[in-house]
A and B are shown apart, each in its own frame.
Chain A
Amino acid sequence: NAGVTQTPKFRILKIGQSMTLQCAQDMNHNYMYWYRQDPGMGLKLIYYSVGAGITDKGEVPNGYNVSRSTTEDFPLRLELAAPSQTSVYFCASMHSGNQPQHFGDGTRLSIL
């Protein structure tokens, strides 16, 4: 089972460039999440979605955008990369409320 798949695994960007982090799940989960984790720190929620066509901001949404056109995919867009966005990004999905979340193996992003 593929579970939650994130691409790319690593990326280096220059300041001001844009990119899309891809996340796909094959478990037919309604809920999907994007987190960032800075070194030595906890997970911070960027955006989440409770179903196709529905997205909402988490605690650190500035500088990011998301879309959810299908149940399977939940891409995260960085429009103008800044050094403060250097982090590890995790995508997660969940079947329904009160269930645990399942994580992809992350995208390590450096902005120089």
Chain B
Amino acid sequence: RKEVEQDPGPFNVPEGATVAFNCTYSNSASQSFFWYRQDCRKEPKLLMSVYSSGNEDGRFTAQLNRASQYISLLIRDSKLSDSATYLCVVNRDIYGGSQGNLIFGKGTKLSVKP
């Protein structure tokens, strides 16, 4: 299994649709999980951290399943401005993330159409 694996997409959805991205990771000792957003030719920007209990930020909901080593991101009522590449990010370190090295998935491209 790759360290972090995502469906590359692209996901082409109409405005207002609900879209879900999935991600799997290989290191069962990973402790930190994030979703980043990257617009074309721009830097990655933190979208949200992912907590064990699941968390929500407006239209965005992130879930973590440690047993299955699986992370998800749900976007409800998608907007044109949501068009971007979404990166699943997991910390690499075995011993609690002391070095903070993150593994970035290759990303899932989302295109929201009018």
Contact = CB atoms under 8 A, between A and B. Distances in A.
Interface in A87-112: 88, 90, 94, 96-106
Contacts of A35: 104
Interface residues of A, number: 24
Interface SS of chain B = loop
Contact of B102 (A41, A101, A104): A101
**Count class of interface residues, chain B:** 20 to 34
Contact of A98 (B43, B46, B100, B104): B100
A105 B105 CA distance: 19
Contacts of A96: 100
B104 A43 contact: yes
Contacts of A106: 42-43
Nearest to A108: B41
Contact of B44 (A31, A48, A58, A103): A103
